[in-house]
A and B are shown apart, each in its own frame.
Chain A
Amino acid sequence: MSTVQTSIAPGLHTAFQQRHQYAREWKARTGGKVVGFFCTYVPEEIVYAAGMLPVRLFGAHQPQEVSERHIATMYCPYCRDVLAQGLLGRYDYLDGVVMANSCIHLRQAFESWRIHVPASFTYFLYMPCNVRQAAAVEVLTGELREFQSALESWGGRTISKTALKKAISVYDTNRRLLKQAYELRKADNPPIGGTEALDAVLAAQTMDKQEHSKLLSGALEGWKRSSTARKGARLMVVGSEDDDIGLVQLIESLGAVVVTDESCTGTRYFWNESEPDGDPLSAIARRYLKRPPCPSKDIDDEEPHQRLKFILDLAQQYRVKGVVILQQKFCHPHELDYPNLVKALQEKGLPAVHLEMDITIPYGQFRTRIEAFMEMLE
């Protein structure tokens, strides 16, 4: 399905659609290295402080037949699609790739990438599974120190404390701006819809953060002054990685307004900022450990289901009337959370529809299901 540019923030839309061109141009004009990352638990700030451009790896949502020789078809579509882009040479401008320990499927995609796709730097960063465990800060800070050291050896320059602190500031500023954009979605008839919000976050994951902040600041001013008033059932999108802008656009074309989300292409990516800390690496570690958790990290017997609490809190803040659960097919962490998630939503009187995403999705079938869901909400 084609996507349309929005009148207020066409730059954000184009930035993501033309992400490969953007990264190539960035590289040509700065002479810096571009580093692809597989998971939003990769601490981009350290890469940025090294003078490099971190870009999140995305698929193309096109049929392909190259990844199945390397990882099984029951690996999640996102992993297969991302690996396919590497194998097809569409990320040939990357100098390095980094993976943070999160889910097994994504790790296997990374392991295959580091074998079959040329890159002068590949790094697997251990990220604790139990992010709320007392020892996690010390463990992750140590791992970040190793990561910093590896980047310094590869990049041939030292990453100073000042550079790290500046990167933290740049990233926190960007997170704050994204949160301001999301604040506008709390309005009765918000000037910004789910499509524009997704554009903004996806562009943030593929652009230089300072350049993105500048673009986003302009868009924010436009949205604040806009007379656009989106009307429709207030929906929330919850689930796996989702960069399929056409799908959110489909939902909104059927009379809904997506007012918030819970995914790593949304709130989970930027919701929390760093807290002051004398050691910048410790500050980065704390920020990633305390971010709204991916289900693969929502493990703690003493404080269970923090993810569900985050979702219910957002639903209340944004006065959500229904939830669309978008899940990458075969995604175990999300599949294991699903029964608890539906139960928690039901207890709050929130109806939900579950859509399973693949590399390409059946728009006709999804349209029918969303239409039926919308009728149920009326």
Chain B
Amino acid sequence: MRTKYPTKPFELWQKAKEIRLQNYKSIMNAKAEGKLLFTGQRGAPTEIVAGFGDLEFLGMNDYAASIAHDPPAALEAFELLEARGYSRDVCAYWRCLWARP
């Protein structure tokens, strides 16, 4: 396809995936390593919590996006929430998060 500007594959794509995987591994191992683990919106002022020192942060927004990107995981979340009485028109991000904290 001809494009107005030259394009090429994202060179750091694989590296980005590795960083993301490392981030989730750090989160998974945080408790075992004696670190504080907390979650919140990405828009929250995490600088304040960072004052506690050695900790890991699970960003709600990107975690919900990761679940939504995995259809079986998202489906499981939606079915679980619906079985508990939550409406299907409640924000899908929220349902992913609430079902799979």
Contacts and interface: CB of A to CB of B under 8 A. Distances in A.
Interface of A: 74, 329-330, 332, 335-336, 338-339, 342-343
A286 B90 CA distance: 32
B89 A336 contact: no
B86 interface: yes
Interface residues of B, number: 7
B89 A338 contact: no
8 contacts: A330-B89, A335-B89, A336-B90, A338-B85, A338-B86, A338-B87, A339-B85, A339-B86
Contacts, number: 19
Given A336-B86, A339-B85, 17 more contacts: A74-B89, A329-B89, A330-B89, A332-B90, A332-B91, A335-B86, A335-B87, A335-B89, A335-B90, A336-B90, A338-B85, A338-B86, A338-B87, A339-B84, A339-B86, A342-B85, A343-B85
Nearest to A356: B87
Interface of B: 84-87, 89-91
A342 B87 CA distance: 13
A74 B90 CA distance: 10
A249 to B, nearest CB: 27
A338 B84 CA distance: 10
Nearest to A334: B87
Contacts of B85: 338-339, 342-343
A343 B85 CA distance: 10
A192 B89 CA distance: 37
Q: 5 nearest interchain CB pairs?
A: A339-B85, A335-B87, A335-B90, A330-B89, A339-B84
A115 to B, nearest CB: 24
Contacts of B90: 332, 335-336
